[in-house]
A = this chain, B = another copy of it.
Amino acid sequence: MNDVGTVVRPRSADSFRSSALFQQILASSGLIVLLVGFSLASPNFLQTANIINILQATSVNGVLAVAATLVIISGGIDLSVGTLMTFCSVAAGVFMIYLGVPVPVGIVGTLIVGLAAGSLSGTFIAKLKIPPFIATLGMMLIYKGLSLAICGAKPIYFTNAGGFNQFSAGSLVSAVIPGVPLPNSVVVLFAVAVTAAFVLGRTALGRYTFAMGSNEEALRLSGVNIDRWKIAIYGLAGAICAVAGILIASRINSAQPAIGQGYELDAIAAVVIGGTSLSGGRGTIVGTMIGALIISVVANGLRILSVPQEWQIVVTGSIIIVAVYFDILRRRGAA
């Protein structure tokens, strides 16, 4: 048997790599191609200011994509990330403006709201056995409607919440390293991504997330309490959406009840472009980050090149397809 063992070891070893470390390099190759292309096409693209624009434009979608990644790896899907973000930003408004609690308390409160909301979806899915697509589609609409109802379809402005807008727009980094006005929102994105990657890679929750997406029945037969962990996964995703809600609210210094719908597609696109399979069991946060960057680089680059908007849409669509095809080719090559 030795021989077979040894036959398999190398294979498995790099098939392991190709499922994680590799994937990232592969996916990133697409990103690099885009960056180079746009830089050559326009002198305005590769400026510190613009790179920072891109990063900032990525932050909200990036955070939502992290939430989506967790759910998708577990074999589910979450269509409610966008409007849950909105709902949470409204919640932040209610806390800080209507109830006038101090900013930090308001932020904690918002995170709790997100956690609770996510756990609710999770409960529908785990306990009532409602398909994730349906449960989160329903919640998407519910959050949307509630956001409008709560703030009477008018934005809530944070003008009186001292320094709340600094939370996203301000730049602690520039305070530390002068000349690098990296907005906090980008730092937050980074923190969220690292945390999520850590949870996925090092904790039981992460392990069960992959196991669930890989073979839920087998996990159940192994005596693991599926329901509890599933609810935890959606809950965590919800809390992450709350972070996105805080970011966007503080960036536009207001809670806009009307936005959010449609964001879920961008988030999911980022996840899949990043090489995470929608059938669950496989995926990486790094991949998702690259996917999110690809999306905002394309959006920004095409604007910089003053491509007419209708063609911007066409090109974005094409690039999503090509990027993924790229990824597939390279992975086939690696395997």
Contact = CB atoms under 8 A, between A and B. Distances in A.
B134 A269 contact: yes
Contact of A313 (B129, B145, B278, B312): B145
Given A128-B328, A328-B128, A313 B134 contact: no
A79 B145 CA distance: 23
A300 to B, nearest CB: 16
B272 A138 contact: no
Judged by DSSP, the binding face of A is helix
Contact of A314 (B79, B145, B265, B277): B145
B138 A320 contact: yes
Total copies of this chain within the assembly: 2
Nearest to A316: B141
A311 B130 contact: no
A316 B142 CA distance: 8
Nearest to A257: B310
Contacts of A265: 79, 137
A149 B317 CA distance: 14
Given A145-B310, A312-B145, A314-B149, A130 B321 contact: yes
A256 to B, nearest CB: 14
A138 B321 contact: yes
A148 interface: yes
B317 A140 contact: yes
A324 interface: yes
Interface residues of A, number: 44
A324 B140 contact: no
Contacts of A6: none
Contacts of A133: 268, 272, 278
A142 B318 contact: yes
A73 interface: no
Contacts of A145: 310-317
A190 interface: no
A325 B139 contact: no
Given A148-B313, A311-B145, A131 B269 contact: no
Interface string A240-259: 00000000000000000000
Contact of A141 (B137, B141, B273, B320): B320
A328 B130 contact: yes
A305 interface: no
B129 A314 contact: no
A144 interface: yes
A273 B134 contact: yes
A311 B311 CA distance: 37
Nearest to A139: B317
Contact of A278 (B131, B153, B268): B131
A134 B317 contact: no
Contacts of A128: 325, 328
Contacts of A328: 128-130
Given A130-B328, A134-B272, A139-B321, 5 more contacts: A128-B328, A137-B269, A138-B320, A145-B312, A153-B309
Interface of A: 79, 124, 128-131, 133-135, 137-142, 144-146, 148-149, 153, 265, 268-269, 272-273, 277-278, 308-318, 320-321, 324-325, 328
